[in-house]
Amino acid sequence: MIDKLQASFREEAGELLAELESALLELDCRHDDREALGRAFRALHTIKGSGAMFGFDELAAFAHHLETAFDRLRNGEAAATRELINLALASLDQIRVLLDSGGRSSSAEAERRAAIVAEIERLTGIQASAAPASPGSGAEMSFGRCGPARAWKIYFRPPADAFLNGTNPLLLLRELAGLGSMEVVLDTSAVPRLQDIDPERCYAAWQVILKTAAPREAIQDVFIFVEDGCELRIEAASGDSQENAPPAADAAPARNGRQMAGPAPSMRVAAEKVDQLVNLVGELVTVQARLGEISLRRGDPELQAVSEEIDRLTGELRENSMSIRMMPLRATFERFRRLVRDLGIELEKKADLTVEGAETELDKTVIDQLNDPLVHLIRNAMDHGIETPAERRASGKPERATILISAQHSGAQVLIRVRDDGRGLNAEAVRRRAVEQGLLDEAAQPSEAELFSLILAPGFSTAREITGVSGRGVGMDVVRRSVEALRGSIEIASRPGAGLTVTLRLPLTLAIIDGLLVRVGGGQFVLPLANSLECVELGRKDIDAAHGNHIAMVRGETIPYIRLREYFGIQADPPEREQIMVVETEEGNFGFVVDEVLGNHQTVIKNLGRMYRDVPTVSGATILGNGTVALILDPHRLVQHAIQSASRRRRDGSRAIRPEAAAGRETLQNGFQRKAERTDDTHKKQ
Amino acid sequence: MAKVILTADDSATVRQMVKFTLSDGGYTVIEAVDGQDALARLSPAVNLLITDLNMPNLDGIGLIRSVRSNPALKGMPIIMLTTESHDARKQEARAAGATGWIVKPFTTQQLLAVVKKVLG
């Protein structure tokens, strides 16, 4: 590298010398040409600075004298004369010699240079020849550790304008921490009252006890850029002589003190214990809901105060215990690199895995069950999606394929995508295969998304041949089942020749979520709060104004809505004013019309029984404070389902797609009625 | 995301050295040939400005003043490269709003250390 830089410097210096020469010649014509003077000075300055950096020390030293002289000219301390310009031109030739000889020259040349320097100094009135800046920097920071560790007491108050000057005091503290072990106590005594605070000023100061083997100068160097404006006291801490004894700070750590050296302590706990904790918190949340209900009914303010306090605490406890189970996806994702590499060798294909969003956190129980479906998806991409290097070349793609696996948050859900840039899905082939296997009616005209979703059906495979990797038709339905077991969903998008993207939509957690409790007729439902935007009233007039369309205007925006009453076939008269919950989905904002929004509800998710497992629009159930059950709705699926059934209606009663969803809906309606009946029974018993 | 550093220097060799060293250190480096060019390339996406003092068109001090008077670039750390170890020059740049400085000639280690100091 240094050779390359030296060559580059030589080239640049050549240009600079040409620039210097032309400036000097101009100056020769007009001795007071300040512009030419400035150009000459800058050229010399750059030659000196760069020369010293790339090993031309002699050249740099010589140029320094000339630069000093020109600085004096620039400042009007000396005048440019013909004699001086002659000398400058002679110096220029000397610099050229030094440059061409790679920095070495004969002693005769050196003597000549010394003579030039002496003459120039005489003409410009420079007293003694000042040495050029010695190598090394004002911000020299390399130093050896010397001597035994000592304790230092440092008080540091950065200048008030530190932030404006781009100084980050925390970085300085961190740098200080790098010298040894230290304790920091924040001094907030200068922080004014809130209304007087200028957020761009620095009011903080720190008292630091630093135990380090580095010398005092090293500590001072940390603050080198701010030492002019800041308040800085560095003194040896008491007990300095007892070198090996712990410093005072260690013996009596300050309350606000924080050990900056070493990572935060952590401990390993069996996953089982954490699961148990989360379960208990779930029970606690349920019991708290009952307590809240009772205290509300009793109307005893004292009881209510206690109940509210417990409600707040359980909320915090819940968040805390859930966060313990949250883990980044990195470990899971990184394991696939090896998989892609090994499969590449086996299948004689070239592919790289790119990982995005590996820091996304997800409930450990979800992550554990995610591995198998992701392995399937990557195997599928490698086997079916990605072409052989020869095929890829032929279709003008780079030989190395890319598989991208990414994760991102979306409300209370996580989207995990596996994308390849392979051959993609052939809609016609999928269609043929689906007809062959009796999954699709010959006359059906399904949309592309519906068609692609058929590859998730059991036994479906479009691979022309069965290979050792996949293609036995057990792939995608396994993925579907595992993802559905996690209450997730799968979307498939593809462009022929450009690749395939499979998106898994998974809940962040399987345990407890923040929900919004709503009532329709006698039934209660929970919508996930993370997706809910707002709730507005829907009066009779608004309904009439839409001429029978399920559309409402919310602050100028058209919001299509789904009436849960109609959707679930609830037989009860709607109230005069209903309410719309506006919910954010992938498809845009949608409304859900309910009788009443009851409020926030910490929702402990319970699995539905086998009977309701195939109902896609319901993601679970929860037990309310009064002991009744509320279904947890999946707004995303509800909207998708509504869109699908609307487009199916438009296609004039085409029964091509297996009416799975409709069947699910019937099950749900029956189930719901049965549940309602059961609830009635229990009420009667009470 | 790699941090973005803008190096303003009329010397291509110095720019090259800065770019090589800092790219190696994991930063993204943008080059500017003088103060005016630097101003055109500066945006809030730039995390650090390293500028020479003596440059044509707009010199380092002028560049620092322009940056400090632009609210969009508020608080941007600025390191100046200087050959002078004179206090006067340092004071002038410091008063203009420079965060820190490096005295030329410097080694790649020194450059990285200073960048780390102001950028973290």
pLDDT in tens, A547-602: 777 888 887 788 888 888 888 888 888 888 889 988 887 778 889 999 988 888 88
Predicted pLDDT at A255: 41
What length does chain B have?
120
CB-CB: which of A41, A49, A228 is closest to B105?
A49
Predicted pLDDT at B57: 86
Candidates A50, A58, A65, A170, partner chain B, best to mutate (most B CBs within 10 A): A50
Average pLDDT, chain A: 77
Say whether pLDDT at A285 is over 80: yes
Predicted pLDDT at B8: 92
Say whether pLDDT at B70 is over 70: yes
Domain residue extents for chain B? 4-119
Report, as an integer, the average pLDDT of A327-334: 86
Give the tokens for residue A448: 């592309």
- Number of neighbouring beta carbons within 10 Å of residue A179: 20
- Number of neighbouring beta carbons within 10 Å of residue A342: 11
Say whether pLDDT at A474 is over 60: no
The CATH number that domain A2-124 falls under is: 1.20.120.160
Say whether pLDDT at B55 is over 70: yes
Annotation: CATH topology of A329-507: Heat Shock Protein 90 (3.30.565)
Predicted pLDDT at B77: 92
- Cross-chain residue pair B75–A138, CB shorter than 8 Å: no
- Residue in A with minimal Cα distance to B112: A141
pTM tops 0.95, yes or no: no
Please count the residue pairs, one from chain A and one from chain B, whose beta carbons lie less than 8 angstroms apart. 126
- Cross-chain residue pair A225–B99, CB shorter than 8 Å: yes
Residue A564 sits at φ, ψ, to 5 deg, of -60, -30
Predicted pLDDT at B84: 64
Predicted pLDDT at A146: 47
Residue A54 sits at φ, ψ, to 5 deg, of -115, 25
Predicted pLDDT at A254: 39
The CATH number that domain A512-683 falls under is: 2.30.30.40
Say whether pLDDT at A679 is over 50: no
- Cross-chain residue pair A166–B117, CB shorter than 8 Å: no
Lowest mean pLDDT among A197-201, A372-376, A623-627, B48-52: A623-627
Predicted pLDDT at A55: 74
Q: Residue A73: name the closest of A46, A44, A34 by CA.
A: A34
DSSP state, A531?
G
Q: How confident is the model at residue A677 (pLDDT cuts 50, 70, 90)?
A: very low
- Cross-chain residue pair A42–B114, CB shorter than 8 Å: no
**List of chain B residues whose C-beta atoms are within 8 Å of the C-beta of residue A175:** 116-117
The C-alpha of B40 sits at a distance from chain A's nearest C-alpha, in angstroms, of 20
Residue numbers of A between 167 and 196 with CB closer than 8 Å to B: 167-168, 170-172, 174-175
B4-8 and B28-32: which strand pairing?
parallel
Predicted pLDDT at A220: 83
Residue A29 sits at φ, ψ, to 5 deg, of -75, -45
Say whether pLDDT at A249 is over 70: no
Say whether pLDDT at A239 is over 60: no
Predicted pLDDT at A242: 41
Q: How many Å apart are CA A557 and CA B90, to the nearest integer? A: 58
- Cross-chain residue pair A163–B75, CB shorter than 8 Å: yes
Mean pLDDT comparison of A17-31, A49-63, A301-315, A318-332, highest-scoring range = A301-315
Residue numbers of B between 50 and 69 with CB closer than 8 Å to A: 52, 54-56, 68
Asked if B115 contacts B22 with a C-beta cutoff of 8 angstroms, the reply is: yes
Say whether pLDDT at A653 is over 70: no
Interface residue B94 vs chain A (CB under 8 A): yes
Say whether pLDDT at A44 is over 70: yes
Q: What percent of chain A has pLDDT over 90?
A: 3
Give the tokens for residue A299: 């109307």
Q: How many Å apart are CA A414 and CA A409, to the nearest integer? A: 5
Report, as an integer, the average pLDDT of A508-518: 80
The C-alpha of A590 sits at a distance from chain B's nearest C-alpha, in angstroms, of 35
Q: Residue B110: name the closest of B9, B42, B17, B26 by CA.
A: B17
Residues 6+ apart with CB under 8 A from A333: A355, A358, A405, A407
Give the tokens for residue A26: 């101009």
Asked if B11 contacts A49 with a C-beta cutoff of 8 angstroms, the reply is: yes
Residue range A423-443, pLDDT digits in tens: 887 777 778 877 877 777 777
* Architecture of the domain made up of B4-119: 3-Layer(aba) Sandwich (3.40)
Q: Residue A180: which H helix or E strand, with range?
A: strand A180-187
Question: What is the signed CA dihedral for A613, A616, A617, A621, rounded to 10 degrees?
Answer: 20
Lowest mean pLDDT among A196-205, A507-516, A664-673, B54-63: A664-673
Give the tokens for residue A645: 């059934």
Residue A16 sits at φ, ψ, to 5 deg, of -65, -35
Predicted pLDDT at A2: 65
β-pair partners for A527: A516
A523-528 and A629-633: which strand pairing?
parallel
Predicted pLDDT at B29: 92
Residue A411, Ramachandran bin (φ over 0: left; ψ between -120 and 50: alpha; else beta): left
Q: Is the dihedral of CA A368, A373, A376, A378 positive or negative?
A: negative
Interface residue B95 vs chain A (CB under 8 A): no
Say whether pLDDT at A131 is over 50: no
**List of chain A residues whose C-beta atoms are within 8 Å of the C-beta of residue B75:** 163-164, 166, 200
Say whether pLDDT at A132 is over 60: no
Q: Residue A433: name the closest of A468, A394, A395, A476 by CA.
A: A476
The C-alpha of B76 sits at a distance from chain A's nearest C-alpha, in angstroms, of 5
Say whether pLDDT at A261 is over 50: no
Q: Strands (DSSP E) along B4-115, which ranges?
A: 4-8, 28-32, 48-52, 78-82, 100-103
Predicted pLDDT at B6: 93
Q: How confident is the model at residue A417 (pLDDT cuts 50, 70, 90)?
A: very high
CATH (one of 1.10.3470, 3.40.30, 3.30.70, 3.40.91) for A150-246:
3.30.70
Residue range A208-223, pLDDT digits in tens: 888 888 888 888 888 8
Q: How confident is the model at residue A661 (pLDDT cuts 50, 70, 90)?
A: very low
Q: Residue A275: name the closest of A185, A368, A193 by CA.
A: A368
Lowest mean pLDDT among A224-238, A307-321, A449-463, A635-649: A449-463
Lowest mean pLDDT among A89-103, A398-412, A605-619, A633-647: A605-619
Say whether pLDDT at A244 is over 60: no
Residue A463 sits at φ, ψ, to 5 deg, of -65, 135
